[in-house]
Structure 1
Amino acid sequence: MGGRLSVGENVHVVIVGGGFGGIAAAKQLSYYSIPYTLIDIKFAFHHNMGALRASVQNGFAEKTFISYEVTFKDNFKQGKVSDIDLEDQDVILENGEVIHYSHLILATGSSGPFPGKLIEPVSRDTAIKMYEDLVQEIQKAETIVVVGGGLAGVELTAEIRTDYPDKEVTLIHSTYVLGDSEVLPSVRRGVKEILVNKGANLLLGQKVNNLTELVVNKAQKDIKVLTNKGQEITADMVICCTGIKINSSAYVNALKDKLTEHDAIIVDEYLKVKGMDAVFAVGDCANVNEHKSAYTAEFQALACVKNIIHSLKDEPMDLYKPGAPYMLVTMGRNDGVGQMCGCNVGKLIVTYVKSKDLLVKTSWKKMGQRMPH
């Protein structure tokens, strides 16, 4: 039965968002037999660490979508949260359904353009097909422009150059810092060196001026990409990897006075929304001074559930202590760079730990399901 906790009949935890943080919280609540409902707009958990490989490698997308219903059964509800009634402690879905909570965990994550993110209410099969279709388009194109040199852009560029070394790939980025600006300079240099060694063209310190007019994710001859420095690149395909933002639509109305300028939720040292006792936030949507990643979302979710248990037992809550940035940047299945405990880790460790399968097996295991081969 796990660590069953005796709770009153009024206890019902609602988790909004089924990303890495949301499923970690749901699994933990399940372990303690605490009643909960997990709500997500999608029908399947998206292991989006594998999204960029799923864009270039046939058959990989199937491994990156894991059914919520199979794992969480009646505790899962597919739908979009349109508002939260803080006074009555109700979560309101777009279809009018109301779900009452004793405790609320907001784990809405962030959104961005496909293929780096996929936040759409589509079936698992449709989601997989969207990636398989993109693989076909990339295979058709000979020259590809990737716009945006954050983590998604650099990883996608490396994946394409690894699987299709004959394709010409140009990465355009608005600054000179590639990857994640919060990591060690040596890690950022490592990212740049790997891309250069893989034969990618780097156009740094330039913005694409006509992005809104371009067709993205489709192979098409003679696409003209124009930059603010007057450069013109002709390509067969453009893929956009810019514009990651916090998913705030579920709570922006209810919590408007408790948000940062970027709509992150201001939380206290217990991960509670500032000034509230029953509402918590974890992961990308929480304004915690900690590097944003799947790992930190999971750690925060576990800490958050622990504090809910403390509150149910009338015990003092534990302070959440942010950890040092932990990041492994996969650069194709045979390369990578990263940092752990403040130290640079190289190709061997990153490839062994993450690059080969992008930790997809781990997510299937956590969801208690068998991964398709």
Structure 2
Amino acid sequence: MAQNIVIVGGGPAGVVLFNEFGSKLSASEASVIMVTPRPYFTWLPACPRMLVTEDGELEKRVLMPFPDNFNEGNRKVVLSKVVSIHDGEEKAQRFVTLDNGETIEFSVLILAPGSKWDGPLGFPESKEEDLEFIKKWRKEFAEAKDIVLIGGGAVGVELAGELVDEWPTKPVTLVHGHPLLLTATYPDKFRQDVVDRLIRRGVNLVLGDYVDDIIPKDGKITTRKGTDVPADLVISTRGGKPNTEFIRTLGSDVLDDGGYIRVRETLQLVDHPRIFAAGNAIDIPEGRHAYKAARQALIVAKNTVALVRGSDDPKTLWQYRGGRNSITLSIGKDGGACYFDVLWGLMFGDYFASLKKSRGLMIDMVKRRLQL
């Protein structure tokens, strides 16, 4: 009798897993169910540009509908949200509960819930609402006179680049709590290079300082150090938080203090050998990128196939060893910066970044690789 493999999340990890099982497991071995609230995949790295400009109608390409074959053979997409998980000793005691009250039994459960975002990346959960959300942000950006972004990670850097690309004379300020942009995951030399590139593009930087109250008063905000920054639109571009509140139903020890899922090297949850996790919500100390999520998903896929086929000896399962931390940032349509953690650390600028990401935002490559 076919076993149920349930995947929670339709992001990079979830879709990679869905495709892997469709090609590696027969209908007699497993039924594959992906639970996600949206009937489409959203390519987040392209969203800063999509939210700033109408050019190219990017919403038609960035919101990628799941194809019909996602509901054929041994695969099915369930449009819903998981609100709780029960993991018992017997098969009938393993199930997830959906927000409509229905339950789905699982033999293997894979958690790939991704992140929750504030501000422009905090998308709703329907196509109609998403399109209105996109229009709203485009209007706010267009009408704003002084824009301030709070948080100088990849989202803040790329959104600042898109804003000055679209409106070169509009004041855009980026406030970041550290002396250099991004995080210490990357070397100072690269982080300083990103600082220099934004300054050359006309972005105002306030580094090593914080903003506690992001609501403008009298046309400005004031940092902790007392710096007044002109502002009529202030946006949080801090990193996303793990979308894991529903996983607490497994027990208080499944998440760390930051809300990330505790996993073993096999990407199994501690004390839950038939539950795996992958993507931005796991507690592995490395950069959280779509390509990392996809690599983790491939390890989870191999281990899930092994469990389905009766090989549950931990010694036979694959282990995720992490990888090098590389990043490509787009800074407008023709600019950017790249860092590759190989040799002595390779850095590239506008030309390479524009070829790799900035011009096309990797949309066609992602659609092809995810079979969308």
Task: Judge same fold: TM > 0.5, yes or no.
Answer: yes
Which residue does the alignment assign to 1:64?
62
Q: String of CA shifts for 1:198-249, please: whole Å, max 9, x gaps.
A: 01111112222322x459xxxxxx6321211222223232222125211112
Supply the distance in 1 between the matched residues of 2:278 and 2:246 (Cα, whole angstroms). 14
Supply the distance in 1 between the matched residues of 2:47 and 2:368 (Cα, whole angstroms). 18
1:330-345 to 2 correspondences below 5 Å? 330-342=330-342, 343-345=345-347
In the superposition, relative to structure 1, how do residues 365 and 83 fare at CA in structure 2: closer, same or farther (>3 Å)?
A: same
2:138 aligned with 1:161: no
Over the matched positions of the two proteins, sequence identity in percent amounts to 27
Equivalent in 122, 125, 142 of residue 121 of structure 1: 125
The 8 Å contact of residues 65 and 128 in structure 1, kept in 2 or not, is answered as no
Q: String of CA shifts for 1:179-216, please: whole Å, max 9, x gaps.
A: 233112222111101101001111112222322x459x
Which residue does the alignment assign to 2:327?
327
- Corresponding residue SS for 1:225: strand
In the superposition, relative to structure 1, how do residues 366 and 128 fare at CA in structure 2: closer, same or farther (>3 Å)?
A: farther
What 5-or-longer segments of structure 2 have no aligned partner? none
The 8 Å contact of residues 90 and 99 in structure 1, kept in 2 or not, is answered as yes
Supply the distance in 2 between the matched residues of 1:341 and 1:182 (Cα, whole angstroms). 10
Supply the distance in 1 between the matched residues of 2:237 and 2:53 (Cα, whole angstroms). 18
Residue-pair matches, total:
352
Equivalent in 6, 17, 20 of residue 12 of structure 2: 20
Deviation of the 1:69 alpha carbon: 6.0
Deviation of the 1:71 alpha carbon: 5.3
Which residue does the alignment assign to 1:309?
305
272-281 or 32-41: bigger deviation = 32-41
The 8 Å contact of residues 153 and 239 in structure 2, kept in 1 or not, is answered as no
AA paired with 2:339?
A: Q
The 8 Å contact of residues 69 and 76 in structure 1, kept in 2 or not, is answered as no
In the superposition, relative to structure 1, how do residues 249 and 41 fare at CA in structure 2: closer, same or farther (>3 Å)?
A: farther
- Corresponding residue SS for 1:260: coil
What is the TM-score normalised by the length of structure 1?
A: 0.89
Deviation of the 1:70 alpha carbon: 3.9
Q: String of CA shifts for 1:284-342, please: whole Å, max 9, x gaps.
A: 11122332110010010111011111223344212222111121111112111122243
Which residue does the alignment assign to 1:193?
196
Which residue does the alignment assign to 1:77?
78
AA paired with 2:278?
A: V
Q: String of CA shifts for 1:42-78, please: whole Å, max 9, x gaps.
A: 3321100111111112122222111236452371111
Which residue does the alignment assign to 1:219?
none
RMSD: 1.9
In the superposition, relative to structure 1, how do residues 38 and 214 fare at CA in structure 2: closer, same or farther (>3 Å)?
A: farther
Which residue does the alignment assign to 1:270?
266
1:248-287 to 2 correspondences below 5 Å? 248-287=244-283
AA paired with 1:22?
A: G
Supply the distance in 1 between the matched residues of 2:68 and 2:147 (Cα, whole angstroms). 38
What 5-or-longer segments of structure 1 have no aligned partner? 1-7, 216-221
Which residue does the alignment assign to 2:113?
108
